A and B are shown apart, each in its own frame.
Chain A
Amino acid sequence: NAGVTQTPKFQVLKTGQSMTLQCAQDMNHEYMSWYRQDPGMGLRLIHYSVGAGITDQGEVPNGYNVSRSTTEDFPLRLLSAAPSQTSVYFCASRLKGQGYTEAFFGQGTRLTVV
């Protein structure tokens, strides 16, 4: 199994550009989420989804958009990139339901906005 796959691994954007970070999982996990990691702040939740067609905001949703049309994919869109969005982004997935299992993470996308 590939697990959770994020693309790209590295990206440099100019201020104002838009782009989509891709996240795909092949474990049939209902729950998927996006985080950004900044020094001293841990991983902060941007958006999450508990199934196809269902998304919700996390702690820091502004400037980001998501949709969940399939169980496998959960893309994160930056509508108009800003230098404050320079960060490392992680995607995660897990099974939904009782006895929550651990999350599986992608390897991260390092984004620089200049």
Chain B
Amino acid sequence: AQSVTQLDSHVSVSEGTPVLLRCNYSSSYSPSLFWYVQHPNKGLQLLLKYTSAATLVKGINGFEAEFKKSETSFHLTKPSAHMSDAAEYFCVVSASKIIFGSGTRLSIRP
């Protein structure tokens, strides 16, 4: 069985401060994990992916995520938030099928 839980439905940070979006997963098999971003009224864009190589994965726009098997976590971070980061973020587990988390809406305060 596969599942993914995004622990926060909404995160609000000030511009220039760090971002942390939390994701826990469950999978019977060794999964691949992804983060996608969706800006308002737009499609889905791949931010980064983990496919069993390095546990620290770097993505686009300064985002990175660390795969921790012992904690079954794949949290997304960015050192310094920018106004353009405001969007919906989805953690995705991919094994026999592709399952999405419920999403985290990231708001950036000026």
Q: How far is the CB of A25 from chain B (nearest CB, A)?
A: 14
Bound complex: CA A110 to CA B34 (Å): 24
What count of chain B residues pass the 8 Å CB interface test? 23
| Residues in B whose Cβ lies below 8 Å from that of A67 | none
B44, B97, B101: the one contacting A48 at CB < 8 Å is B97
Chain B 19-42 per-residue mask, 1 if CB under 8 angstroms from chain A, else 0? 000000000000110100000000
Q: How far is the CB of B22 from chain A (nearest CB, A)?
A: 14
Q: How far is the CB of A29 from chain B (nearest CB, A)?
A: 12
> Which chain A residues in 38-87 approach chain B with CB under 8 Å?
40-45, 48, 50, 56, 58
Q: A45-B97, A90-B44, A102-B94 are in contact. List 6 more A-B contacts (CB 8 A).
A: A43-B90, A48-B98, A99-B32, A99-B52, A101-B51, A107-B43
